[in-house]
Amino acid sequence: MYILANWKDRLDADSSSALANQILSNTSSAYGNIEIVIFPDTVSLAQVALLFESSSIVKIGAQDGPLEKSGTLTGSIAVANISQFCDYVILGHSERRSKLGETDEIVAKKATVACDLGLVPVICVSNGEVSNADPYLGIETQLQAIPREILSRGELLIAYEPIDAIGTGSPGNPKTVEETARAIHKVISRIVPTINVPVLYGGSVDAENVTSYLSLKGIDGVLVGGASLAADSFLSIVDEALHIEHAQ
Q: Which of 35, 102, 161, 240 is catalytic?
A: 161
The alpha carbon of 42 is separated from its chain's Cα centroid by a whole number of angstroms, namely 16
**Is 179 designated active site?**
no
- 96-111 per-position pLDDT tens digit: 999 999 999 999 999 9
What separation, in Å, do the N-terminal and C-terminal C-alpha atoms of the chain show?
Answer: 12
Contact 151, 195 (CB under 8 A): yes
- 133-169 per-position pLDDT tens digit: 566 878 999 999 999 999 999 999 999 999 887 777 7
**Is 155 designated active site?**
no
Q: Which of 93, 102, 178, 240 is catalytic?
A: 93
| Over residues 225-246, mean pLDDT | 95
Neighbours of 134 (CB within 10 A): 11
Q: How far apart are CA 207 and CA 161, in angstroms?
A: 18
| CA-wise closest residue to 155 among 89, 93, 228 | 89
| Mean pLDDT rounded to a whole number for the chain | 92
pLDDT at position 48: 98
For the domain 2-247, what is the CATH superfamily, name and number?
Answer: Aldolase class I (3.20.20.70)
> So where are the chain's domains?
2-247
Q: How far apart are CA 140 and CA 120, in angstroms?
A: 21
Query: Does the pTM of the predicted model rise above 0.85?
Result: yes
